[in-house]
Amino acid sequence: MGIGIPGFETRSIGVADGVRLNAAVGGAGPAVVLLHGFPQTHLMWRHVAPLLAEHHTVVCPDLRGYGASSRPAAVAEDTYAKRTMAADIVGLADALGFGRFALVGHDRGAHVAFRAGLDHPDRIGHLGILDIVPTLDTWNVLHGVDAAVAFHLYLMAQPPGLPEQLIAGSPDAFFGHFLDAWSTSPEAIPADVRAEYLRACRDAVASIVADYRATATVDIGHDRADLDAGNRLVMPVTVVQQDWGRQLGFDAAAIWRPWTTDLQHFTTRAGHFMAEEAPQDIAALILDLVRR
């Protein structure tokens, strides 16, 4: 692959049970780990990561099941549980010699980061969340025709077989739809990067579906158990979202407050791919977060 993050070294790092994460590593200083979303890879951080690397060691992995990371078969319910994927990230930090670190996630990576913050509060010093609400709340706020914006959640929640077959029949059309529909600045994802995203997703249909299927099954149970137990994110949390209230009719900040003890919530005019559309803004918010 000819595309990378300027000034970063790409490494394959073992994390657990034969799983290896492909990660770009650069900079020096306190550690910040950046987790990508769907339908993307670690390349989504190609503008933000160098800005952060002026002050921090920055690690941008491909999540389990995505990009050049391992794609284990979903032989168990928890193979792609966010709890498992969060443990991957802690294992990555262990392999790199990080104790506490800041963790920022976008989209799917944000769900992993959220779970890591709940499961590993001793390791996550600061938590950044880009453009999601927690898994349990995601299903609770999608109602009626408004749920059409998230049709892929329902498709990939179906039992194994049909979703994989349908998506594999026209993967570029499926994954490309989201790159187009969720962007307010198409030029933010140039042709070579788009092609890499589509190639990576085309090669990982089964594992991507497994990741989403977990969000409709095991992940819900984990979220509900934490909520019922009164568990909260105890570290400083910054959430950046599109104006979901205008789009879907709910107060995203109000949804986040019961999960947090130290919340800053911001609304962006950028589209879903905000790290590529407004990298200076996102980098500044991350730097502000890690100073809290």
User: Of the residues 62, 88, 107, 226, which is catalytic?
Assistant: 107
User: Of the residues 36, 111, 152, 272, which is catalytic?
Assistant: 272
DSSP SS3 for 44: helix
| 272 is a catalytic site residue | yes
Please, what is the end-to-end C-alpha distance for the chain in angstroms?
37
Q: What token pair was written down for 104?
A: 């920022």
Q: Which long-range contacts (CB under 8 A, 24 or more apart) does 244-251 make?
A: 244/133, 247/149, 248/141, 248/142, 248/146, 248/149, 249/146, 250/141
Place of tokens 């962007």: 183
User: Residue 113: exposed, middle, or buried by beta-carbon count in 10 A (0-12, 13-18, 19+)?
Assistant: buried
Pairing of strands 101-106, 31-35: parallel
Question: Which residues are annotated as catalytic?
Answer: 107, 272
